[in-house]
Amino acid sequence: MALGENLRHARKRIGRSQLDVARDIGISNAALSNYETGYREPDLETLKRLANYYDVTIDELAGNASMAREILYDLSSIVKNGRIAHNGVEYVLSDSQRLKLRRQIAHAFEMFNEGKSNW
């Protein structure tokens, strides 16, 4: 996989938008978009910030090592994005659907934490 594809994959893996990532690491949304499409490549300092943000190594982003380690997904962040997929079907959620799904996820984890087996 090329650097741009790996950047996009790493961002989607944590359920963040381009705008969120760009703002958080101090670059423009257009710059991140250009990096992900392969139109431009980030300088070394930006690449370091991206690797740190995505919790991967520069080698992993560059495709020299696998990013296939165990990953934790923040379900609330993923649902907040509004575009999700389940069993290969993509859904674009309305604001009310996102809120309802986030509440259902929170409830499921409350039941799980209470040790209730029928959740």
CATH number at residue 41: 1.10.260.40
Specify the DSSP class assigned to residue 39. S
Each residue's pLDDT tens digit, 42-68: 999 999 999 999 988 898 898 876 655
Same domain, 47 and 87: no
Whether 107 is covered by a domain: the verdict is yes
Same domain, 39 and 89: no
Same domain, 57 and 97: no
Element containing residue 90 per DSSP (H, E): strand 89-92
Number of domains in the chain: 2
Whether 31 is covered by a domain: the verdict is yes
Q: Can you give the residue range of the structural domain that contains 90? A: 75-113
Contact predicate 53/21, CB 8 Å: yes
Same domain, 30 and 79: no
**pTM for this prediction:** 0.57
How far apart, in whole angstroms, are the C-alpha atoms of residue 109 and residue 64? 37
Strand pairing partners for 83? 92
